[in-house]
Structure 1
């Protein structure tokens, strides 16, 4: 069975998350998007676990996987997956002596090393890996030179790439040769613009959270999909104060201080991954670069927002025709999409062939893009 997964989201109990986050809103967004496997996010929080009580089994047929993100030693973020809410609760309770926020914050701080976090997760029957591993502030490689330094011999089960990286960024890093890569949205809103904006397509043996976790750990991954890395806000080496971008040699020449405002220059994901890629390139599933359909429609129609009535009407027409958003982005033939709107068909073909003009982000500022098929 081939199913599309988004295993990293958040709840309204996390900071800077939409108050409209709810299990029912998320399941509705997944149906529209084409997500068949959803991580609950924030399963360390007792009220969020309770909110999911009547939705783990759902009429939409979406497989719900209890998941949580915690911040450990060095401010590194870790993504945890569990087969059941009972396992998620047991993990949360094990973390409780080391966290003042484990039962009150959606993404709690846990005063443990990555190795201790992974050991507890494994002892309770869960799996764990670094979240958005390459980002400079809270990613593993922004803080540690290796998995071993962070996890101290307790092997992680997977690695989440994050919005500023695709699978090519990790394929040449020797220690990651046998680590499965996940792409997920880290969504803070139930909008289809956020849920499933990055996703992983898995081959699973049956429709259960346990089967999903087994597929992840076995590397039964058929496709990763998400933004061009250049669209991520940490892709290029840059100053977080003024966003000026630098080469690594330029940053070194300035002592990693921005000569314009004195800000500390942060190494970008691209340069960090390049420095670490010292081995042969390991074979990886295809990576599809794309963005939410609503944003593609916005660019094609030239509107101020993907939420305008004009954009929403065209979005609804495409979903009615093809069943879900991911089908439009990945599977529908361009000539069929052109039957609904030729401009959208051309734009999607641009993404599928990589014919995109990219303006890379860095220092905390998102990158942007232009479509070859859209004349400005």
Structure 2
């Protein structure tokens, strides 16, 4: 079977996350998004692990499901097309900060475990090193290599994936604290146990294929969701059984690995270089011409993912041949963002929420609507949405890149284009609103 997995998320115990990030809401939103397997996130946090024990039960495959009575209650709140099983994989993100070589390294890692006993052993070992109860993503003074060793010793089947490897501040290859030549630099003599890396929101597989030392890794994408509604904005596609060990084997061998669905990388908040405090966004050539300094205040700019890939790439942009480990990569815009553009209200507005619910009840889960439901079927319910999806699938989008922690913007219609629409183009009976777009970021 083919399914989507989103294996990098957080819980309500992490910093700067929604209080709605509980297991019930994760299951509800995963079903609405079309995610079959979702990470638990934060599985070494004592409070969250206690909730996992109370609300989840093993399903016999190394994955977990909500207790039957909780699952039945969630199912009653979902439209029929979304009433499909959701499974959980025990996961956590760990931040390590340590000195190595001439740099202070700040690296984020994703860790997965097939059972609670392994998560317990992992938590006990990490608790001897630092405070794992202060937040869902603990910060530890531990070398990346040693964290990998602790992971492997926690139980058979536990594994580690370097998180958002290009992020400037916390990626294994990031410009601020990462490594310059390989993943092996980061994980040392245990690097052969790393078989997948996470691309992050600001890069896509094609960018990673330019760096030959990444050829041996499967590329995974995940949402890094800090609220339930952000689930599935990136995900990994599998064509194996929804089983912990089958998923691990797919990433290690390629058997059952189906590729990724992605943000357009320009939407990621570290795609381009820049200095957010001064509203300055730069492409790599501009950064080099300015000596890496902000043209407004003179401070150093944050070097983004596109620049960092260019620095480490040993292949050009044109004519890239995907490596043997590669599979299909598809770029999407999350459905709430599409509806927000069409209606003219904010992503979190009641009008967009109502349109999202209506779209889900008629067209099914978000990821299948974005990529699989025939445009003709969408047009019968919402002609304007159908046109947007057709443009999306053709990658006919307008891109305004993100930089220095500021998300970019992907649009499907040009300025003023939607203002000329007729009443026959209304979306699920929701009237189009007068639009006032956010001011464009000035590039200096």
Equivalent in the alignment of 2:87? 63
Matched, 1:262 2:298: yes
Distance 1:348 1:223 in 2: 21
Distance 2:406 2:340 in 1: 20
Distance 2:211 2:348 in 1: 40
Equivalent in the alignment of 1:208? 243
Asked if the contact 1:243–1:364 (Cα under 8 Å) also holds between the matched residues in 2, the reply is no
Q: Residue 274 of structure 2 aligns to a residue in which SS?
A: coil
Asked if the contact 2:5–2:237 (Cα under 8 Å) also holds between the matched residues in 1, the reply is yes
Equivalent in the alignment of 2:422? none
Q: What aligned pairs does 1:112-261 form with structure 2 within 5 A after superposition?
A: 112-124=142-154, 125=156, 126-142=158-174, 143-145=178-180, 146-155=182-191, 156-191=194-229, 194-205=230-241, 207-219=242-254, 220-261=256-297
Q: CA deviation at 1:186?
A: 0.5
Equivalent in the alignment of 2:79? none
Q: Residue 106 of structure 1 aligns to a residue in which SS?
A: coil
Distance 1:250 1:327 in 2: 40
Equivalent in the alignment of 1:288? 330
Q: CA deviation at 1:300?
A: 1.0
Q: CA deviation at 1:308?
A: 3.4
Equivalent in the alignment of 2:436? none
Deviations 1:174-217 (A, max 9, x none): 211110111100001112xx011111111223x33232222222
Q: CA deviation at 1:249?
A: 4.1
Q: Quickly say closer, same or farther: Cα 1:229–1:109, change in 2 above 3 A.
A: same
Distance 2:115 2:244 in 1: 7
Q: CA deviation at 1:309?
A: 3.7
Structure 2: stretches of 5+ with no match in the other structure: 57-63, 72-83, 99-104, 420-444
Equivalent in the alignment of 2:125? 94
Distance 2:350 2:301 in 1: 41
Distance 2:359 2:418 in 1: 22
Normalised to the residue count of structure 2, the TM-score between the two structures is: 0.80
Distance 1:32 1:68 in 2: 23
Structure 1: stretches of 5+ with no match in the other structure: none
Asked if the contact 2:205–2:219 (Cα under 8 Å) also holds between the matched residues in 1, the reply is yes
Deviations 1:287-330 (A, max 9, x none): 21112211111111112x23434333332222122321111111
Q: How many residues align?
A: 371
Equivalent in the alignment of 2:42? 42
Deviates more, 1:51-60 or 1:228-237: 51-60
Q: CA deviation at 1:110?
A: 1.6
Matched, 1:110 2:136: no
Normalised to the residue count of structure 1, the TM-score between the two structures is: 0.93
Distance 1:4 1:335 in 2: 24
Matched, 1:300 2:336: no
Equivalent in the alignment of 2:26? 26
Q: CA deviation at 1:149?
A: 1.6
Deviates more, 1:349-358 or 1:151-160: 151-160
Deviates more, 1:309-318 or 1:77-86: 309-318
Q: Could you say what the CA RMSD is over the residues aligned between the two structures, in angstroms? A: 1.8
